[in-house]
Amino acid sequence: MTQRVTIERIGAKGDGVAETGAGPLFIPRGIPGDVFRIDHNASTDEMLQLETPSPYRVKALCSVFGQCGGCAIQEADQKTYAQWKTGLVTAALAPLGLSDHVGDFIDAHGAGRRRVTFHARRRDGDIVIGFMRAKSHDVIDLHSCPLLVPQLQDSALRLKPLARLLLKSDKPIDIAVTATANGLDVDLRGHGPASPDLRMKLTREAELLDLARLSLHGDIIVERRAPQIAIGKASAILPPGCFLQATETGEGALQRAVLSHLKDARKVADLFAGIGTFALRLAEHASVHAVENEPASINALARATRDVSGLKPVTVETRDLFRRPLVPLELNAFDHVVIDPPRAGAEAQMRMLASSRVSRVISVSCHLGSFVRDAALLLAGGYQLGKVTVIDQFRHSTHCELVGIFERETERAKPKRRLLG
């Protein structure tokens, strides 16, 4: 039996969706307007054929797209792609009745991703380094990835000598690489402690590769140059394995979106502050109290504020906001709170914010589900949601970065004077 279907939309995971009498049919790599012929009597490999390509279809930029599990979609034109990503946010906010609160879509890929984690495995007596194959634990041996910044393009191939030193058995390792102003910062994971002899070999290899720093599970093997990035007027030295926004352009877009929501700011709390992605920019306009659980990150933030002119006072606190969130009495000292939690969100802290008198909460999120859950808590506490900015720094994936402004109703009635950075 032969069946023809037309792709009507792109699903949440990037597959094309055709509506049939039996319900929705999900077709990998389908683009709205594609017509597929399905031969139900053919083999699995020959069952599905693209008969009429969509006018919105473009050529994939990567030769292993469809095999590599890193990208969900590459063959839709920019307008179709942006509509799909924005639609993911619209659909997520719909249960709260807030689907019309989705604002700008910002392409924040820039020069590419500046951090990446490769998987390294021993296979058939050789070393393979790359990304996982789609729906598999098999590793695709990569020579380059077009989504990475130029400094990282050939890094999987270049770093094979490091993997050879560690992969003496079938135990896998991961290689986290960050492109910094002073060179590549590499953290090897999955091996365990290194013997003195192995440390010497790794040090020699780091010198041959001209790495800025080489670490093993955060334990620094050698630091030849301090890995740094600029954040506004300051420069931060990255702790090994610390969190960093995926693209430099994305970081800038997130900072501008957050700063655009400041209004007569005097005291701001930056929760889950990391190395100061927002705190160091916020301090150009207001005094900031930065809270972070990781001591290395908060210490890096504190160091970054030293000897920098033009910043207002920045205080820091090491604190686990999941187990010990700031309570309303503490929060009420601030007129703005910026919160950028991990993917799991910040349920405990959001409950405290919902009970506080903070005028504005600027919520930054990398996960739609936790953003919606946390938003519901703030709405139940009397906050109103303004526009949500969609920032796309994970191009070709299903991931979105969001920035939403929550205000008390009395604050929304006041005329706004924003600080733009």
Give 419's pLDDT tier (boundaries 50, 70, 90).
very low
**Is residue 411's pLDDT more than 70?**
no
Domains of the chain: 2-57 (2.40.50), 87-109+244-412 (3.40.50.150), 115-228 (2.40.50.1070)
pLDDT of residue 188: 96
Q: What is the mean pLDDT of residues 188-192?
A: 91
% of residues, the chain, pLDDT over 70: 96
pLDDT of 279 over the 50 cut: yes
Q: Is the pLDDT of residue 137 over 90?
A: no
Q: Which amino acid is at 207?
A: E
pLDDT at residue 417 is higher than 50: no
The average confidence (pLDDT) of the chain is 93
| Candidate list 71, 145, 242, 366, residue with the active-site label | 366
Q: Is the pLDDT of residue 414 over 70?
A: no
- Give yes or no for residue 390 having a pLDDT over 70: yes
DSSP 24-52: EEEETT--TT-EEEEETTS-TTTSEEEEE
> Using one digit for the tens of pLDDT, what is the confidence trace for 223-235?
999 999 999 999 9
The model's pTM = 0.93
pLDDT single digits (tens) 327-349: 999 999 999 999 999 999 999 99
User: Which are the contacts of 359, defined by CB distance < 8 A and separation ≥ 6?
Assistant: 335, 336, 407, 408, 411
Active site residue 71: no
- Pick from 74, 9, 59, 7: nearest CA to 34: 7
The per-residue pLDDT for 39 is 86
Q: What would the pLDDT profile of 348-379 be if each residue is shown by its tens digit?
A: 999 999 999 999 999 999 999 999 999 999 99
